[in-house]
Structure 1
Amino acid sequence: MGLLDGKVAVITGAGAGLGRAYAMLLAQEGAAIVVNDFAGVGADGMTPAQRVVAEIRSAGGRAVASHWDVGTVAGGEAILKDALDAFGEVHILVNNAGILRDKSLVKMEEGDFDIVVRVHLKGTYCVTKPVFAHMKDSGRGGVIVNTTSTSGLRGNFGQTNYGSAKAGIWGFSNSLAIEGQKYGVRVWTIAPAAASQLTDATTSEEYKRTFTPERVAPVVLYMVSALSGAATGKTLLAGGGYVSEIRMEMGSGFTPPESFTAEDLAAAIEAGKVLMPERDLKYVNAYGPTAKA
């Protein structure tokens, strides 16, 4: 018996890297997988999605390939149709598809910004909307996992486009979790750290050995299975064998008089009444003391 026997999971960007790792593990636990990836045919005459499907089937699992573009409403609807045509329903959605176009802001062209937001943030909307509606209308609910990043939650040089999209996904997920409670749709957000084709040129061999997609996949399995119970609206950071919850917290504050000045505020900040101590604001490597996040 697997943790996901009888379930159907749609995973976007599942032709390689994290998406492939998710697809393989969820299939191993009994889920039928819709492997979505927009990449075209390679030298072997197969698409990345088709290769992953072949791997799953050779291991005795069930899977179909879906090649639609996540960045369009029509694409999102077509991905759902592929799932329904093949397996009749959808219980799990993992929005994983993504691209990078890293440049500092002054060097970033409009197209670099638009394409990253289109694939990540708009893509999450385009695929989630029809799948969420299906889960709602079925009366059985489901689980949706969206992908954010520490680049969106704390920032990273050269990634104003990527950070904007990933921060947007976090906000999207927080709101969707509230909407989903009424219909039994649980919503998680994951901030994964793993070596991939996208980051191959910028990561060390040590990082690649430690931060593998396979060390993130069990976190997603936990999220979408009964192991996580009724939990929803939560964000987990995962990478290199490290897992922690990410959440927004308010620091200390003060109540100003009815009429106050900017100088009053400056004095309150100086006295430590508004901002947290500086040491708490500085980013501490969330993946452990020796990792390079």
Structure 2
Amino acid sequence: MSLNGKVAIVTGSGRGLGLAYAQELAKQGASVIVNDVDEVVASEAVASIEQAGGTASAVVAPVGPTETAKQLVDAAYDRYGRLDILVTNAGVLRDKVTWKMSDEDFDLVVNVHLRGTFTCVREAATRMREDGTAGRIICIGSPTGQRGNFGQANYSAAKAGIVGMVRTWSLELKKAGITANVVIPVAATAMTKTIPFFASAVEADERGEAMPEFFRHELGFGTADDVAGLIAYLASDEAASVTGQAIGVGGDRLQLWSHPEAVATAYREGGWTYDALQSGFAEAVGELQSVGEKMPQLPDELAR
């Protein structure tokens, strides 16, 4: 087990993807701090890890505030004596089109996803640097943060912001030997269960059946366990050279997302005036970039 002796924190790990990450890290030998806002759910998650022969304990607290970040990191040191791995997974959804989205809808999602990632990473990175630990920071992104999605302005902003922070952290923490990466999962969860396109795949997973190959291969959509292996790999010593990356995983598919680069460049002496743009914009930039996820046609036998 390559993570023997290491200690991990996984936020939002009482159920779903977070639980799968915590269980896999424990399976590979790490002691894990499980986090959830529900004490019963957190206790059940710890019990599942211990029953499988792993080591875990819980911190019941909402992610976002600095106080929670300190509580999580202190728990790792108080209970296991160190911290090597942080996985920032906690999140919530409040999906609405922008003109119906309240301040509270926006603030809650950004606070948990974006601010919660920042506060936890700040606290963990500070302690890792003080101890000289070549730690691993793994933040959870989303295809929505890469491509956008109707009705998720708050969520897409938070997830895109996480990728931006990780790129910066990879630069800031390089000298300390600490890596920072984003994992972009595509899996059956409570969040994807509500999307009709994925309904047959999620239902198959809930029945304990294999998902149709179309979902696993064509869409890269799988189970939580399909994502957990990448989390454990990025947490290992073998991934010491991998940092600043956004890596997608789901079903049978692994993807490396590109960093934003200019796709068209044009120069005009005297600059680009309004008149010049009217006559020359289309030729200068070429084909515009697409937005949103492009889903293939579902096979007839899987369509609803």
TM-score by length of 2: 0.86
User: Aligned residues, how many?
Assistant: 281
Specify whether residues 110 and 283 from structure 1 end up closer, same or farther in structure 2 by C-alpha distance, changes over 3 A only: closer
- Identify the residue that residue 269 of structure 1 maps to in structure 2: 281
Residue 261 of structure 2 is aligned to residue 249 of structure 1: yes
- Identify the residue that residue 33 of structure 2 maps to in structure 1: 34
- Identify the residue that residue 155 of structure 1 maps to in structure 2: 148
Residue 12 of structure 2 is aligned to residue 13 of structure 1: yes
Letter in 2 for 1:226: D
Q: Gaps spanning 5+ residues in structure 2: where? A: 206-210, 212-221
Quote the offset at 1:29 in angstroms.
Answer: 0.7
Counterpart secondary structure, 1:69: coil
- Identify the residue that residue 226 of structure 2 maps to in structure 1: 215
Aligned ranges for residues 173-184 of structure 1 at < 5 Å? Answer: 173-184=166-177
Aligned ranges for residues 1-293 of structure 1 at < 5 Å? Answer: 2-40=1-39, 47-203=40-196, 204-208=198-202, 209=205, 210=211, 211-247=222-258, 248-271=260-283, 273-275=284-286, 277-278=287-288, 281=290, 285=294
Letter in 2 for 1:169: I
Quote the offset at 1:285 in angstroms.
Answer: 4.2
d(CA) in 2 for partners of 1:155 and 1:37?
A: 27
Counterpart secondary structure, 1:216: helix
Quote the offset at 1:132 in angstroms.
Answer: 0.6
Quote the offset at 1:128 in angstroms.
Answer: 1.2
Counterpart secondary structure, 2:54: coil
Deviates more, 1:221-230 or 1:65-74: 221-230
Superposed CA deviations along residues 245-264 of structure 1, whole A, max 9, x for unmatched, are 11222202112213442332
Quote the offset at 1:270 in angstroms.
Answer: 2.4
Deviates more, 1:198-207 or 1:186-195: 198-207
Letter in 1 for 2:231: V
Counterpart secondary structure, 2:181: strand
Specify whether residues 289 and 234 from structure 1 end up closer, same or farther in structure 2 by C-alpha distance, changes over 3 A only: farther
d(CA) in 2 for partners of 1:60 and 1:226?
A: 22
Specify whether residues 129 and 30 from structure 1 end up closer, same or farther in structure 2 by C-alpha distance, changes over 3 A only: same
Instruction: State the superposition RMSD in angstroms.
Output: 2.1
Counterpart secondary structure, 2:34: strand
Superposed CA deviations along residues 92-146 of structure 1, whole A, max 9, x for unmatched, are 0000000101111111111111100011001101211111101111112200011
CA contact (8 A) 1:68 1:76 kept: no
d(CA) in 2 for partners of 1:73 and 1:282?
A: 34
d(CA) in 1 for partners of 2:173 and 2:298?
A: 38
CA contact (8 A) 2:148 2:292 kept: no
Q: Which runs of 4+ in 1 moved over 4 A?
A: 282-286, 288-292
TM-score by length of 1: 0.89
